[in-house]
Structure 1
Amino acid sequence: MHKGKGMKFVGDSRIKADRQPNIPKDYSEYPGRTEAFWPNFLLKEWLVGAVFLVGFLVMTLAEPAPLEKMADPTDTTYIPLPDWYFLFLYQFLKYEFAGGNYVLIGAIVAPGLAFGALLLAPFLDKGSQRRPVKRPITTGIMLLAITSVIWLTYESVAEVDWETRTEQNKPVLQPEVEIDKESDGYAVFNKSCVSCHGDNLQGGVGPTLIGVDYSVEEIKKIAVEGTGDMPSGQFKGSDEELQQLAEFIVSVNEQADE
């Protein structure tokens, strides 16, 4: 409390009595050179981001990403590719200095330095100028990053025979069949085969059972003796259950053929 012309009361000694409200600075003296971060600059950023987001959504709806065939752990000839936005790193690991014995450099050290430089760019170049030519460090790092990503992505895409890859890995469409899950055959299937071949015979650890061209006797023989990666002795039921299982699988495939 101060005596004099009137009295001033301050509830907190850390707050000055003559503190002014937080009024944004007047940037009218610098037209086109600077502006208030909120809401002017931030609103422009949001609008640009929204335009790009809507554009990406439209592209994904108009041209959906193609799916390949179901993953097969026994296919050793299949070469997986990362998503397009990681193709430049995938290509980088192919070079001698970034792969093989030096894979740690290609996978961790080099990408870490590159992204670290982008993060440190604002701190390395603190100039007040907004023109790219006036900020050589920031501009140089950004141009180097963009050029590297575009070139490595192009190199990665150019090495892939996309037509052959698309044809070899074309997704196999499962025919629509109606599974009678109340039948005796499905009860046997659910007890003996569902863990490998899926609850709708669509496949899982084992291959799909829809679209197979086997007779009842052939299916019975496979269930008992095994085939390929399927070992013998997998079926533990009675002869009657084996017959029900084989007839059930055949009946499902008869629907698929119709």
Structure 2
Amino acid sequence: MHRGKGMKFVGDSRIKANKTQNVPKDYSEYPGRTEAFWPNFLLKEWLTGSVFLIGFLILVAAHPSPLEQQADPTNASYIPLPDWYFLFIYQILKYQFAGGEYIVIGAIVMPGLAFGALLLAPFLDRAPGRRVSKRPIATGLMLLGVAATIWLTYESVSSVDYQQRAEDYTVDVAAQETEVEVNTDHAGYGAYEANCMSCHGEQLQGSGNNPSLLATEKSVEEIQDIAVNGIGSMPEGIFGGSDEELQQLAEFVKETAEANSGGGSGGGSGGGSH
């Protein structure tokens, strides 16, 4: 090498380059501070997830969700409720400035701000420590979110009478499996099909809180009066036919109930009977 000429490197192809395998770094020099992602950290994550999943499956098997009636778009009396993990958002919509005219605020703005704050928490608090006391912003936002979720869920659950709801909307399997004889050739069947079938079913078995007509003890005249003037949650003006069709309808319901006495669930004396 001559002064001012720089340094020159010459490679020799006869010398093999030493290639090292891609092995995980030895973290024994830093005990308790860090660890390899595979398999140490990932194995712990899998074990934790497996324990939670097994526990959740056992809970579902021990306490299955109650089944309600089948979806019926013609049943306007049914009050839908979201699943338990959305009840806190459902509760927000009940407040004055989060429902009605302000539904956009309750349904979009408030949940958007809440979840947006949780998403921004890691960027707002970038402290290197793992202790809760050293992460005040992230910890505060998380505790606030958990507390609000628990409180709103509790408020929503406490405002619903689930026992009464179960009685109103739970599927009656025995009633569904009961074979009902319906005389479709009866003169009043057409009036029933046009005015009553959407609420009380093809076999007069009822649906939801629309009671079955198979166990009604009302007379023909009482059935006529209910079809015109309503009863309970059933509004008046449901029937829109002639007097002759009204008479045929009442006779059809009465004769079908007598022919299948004991086959339906929920007496016809309840609200909404035709």
The one-letter code matched in structure 2 to 1:166 is Q
Q: C-alpha displacement at 1:143, in angstroms?
A: 1.4
**C-alpha separation in 2, matches of 1:252 and 1:19:** 88
Structure 2 residues without counterparts, runs of 5 or longer = 1-9, 266-274
Pick aligned residue for 2:12 from 4, 12, 37: 4
User: Larger relative CO (CA 8 A, sep 6+): 1 or 2?
Assistant: 2
Length-normalised TM-score, structure 1: 0.64
Pairing 1:73–2:70 present:
no
Structure 2 counterparts to residues 32-51 of structure 1, below 5 A: 32-51=32-51
Q: Structure 1 CA distance, aligned partners of 2:126 and 2:154?
A: 33
Larger mean CA deviation between 36-45 and 140-149 belongs to 36-45
User: Do residues 88 (structure 1) and 95 (structure 2) align?
Assistant: no
CA distance in 1, matches of 2:18, 2:116: 44
Which letter does structure 2 place at the counterpart of 1:58? I
Supply the distance in 2 between the matched residues of 1:190 and 1:18 (Cα, whole angstroms). Answer: 92
Structure-1 separation of matches of 2:46 and 2:215? 51
In the alignment, what sits opposite 1:166?
A: 163
TM-score w.r.t. structure 2 length?
0.61
* Superposed CA offset, 1:37-76 (max 9, x none): 233222222222222222222223323344567885247x
Q: Give CA-to-partner distance per residue, 1:207-234, whole Å, 9 cap, x none.
A: 544433467x679x86xx8774642449
Paired with 1:56 and 1:117, the residues of 2 have a C-alpha distance of 29
C-alpha distance in structure 1 between counterparts of 2:93 and 2:60, whole Å = 29
Is 1:116 aligned to residue 122 of structure 2?
no
Q: 1:152 to 1:248 in 2, by over 3 A?
A: closer
**Does 2:219 match 1:211?**
no
Q: Distance in 2 between matches of 1:50 and 1:190?
A: 58
Partner amino acid, structure 2, of 1:142: M
State how far apart, in whole Å, the 2-side matches of 1:23 and 1:161 are: 59
CA contact (8 A) 1:203 1:209 kept: yes
1:252 maps to 2:260: yes
The residue that corresponds to 1:14 in the other structure is none
1:145 shift after superposition = 1.1
* Equivalent residue, structure 1, for 2:98: 98
Change (3 A) 1:20 1:210: farther
The change in CA–CA distance for 1:132 and 1:190 in structure 2 (over 3 A counts) is farther
RMSD across aligned positions (CA): 4.6
How has the CA–CA distance of structure 1 residues 19 and 98 changed in structure 2, closer, same or farther, with 3 Å as cutoff? farther
Unpaired segments of 5 or more residues in structure 1?
A: 9-16
Superposition map of 1:84-233 within 5 A: 84-158=84-158, 160=159, 162=161, 166-167=163-164, 170-171=167-168, 173=172, 175-176=174-175, 178-179=178-179, 185=183, 193=193, 196=198, 197-203=200-206, 208-213=212-217, 228=230, 230-233=238-241
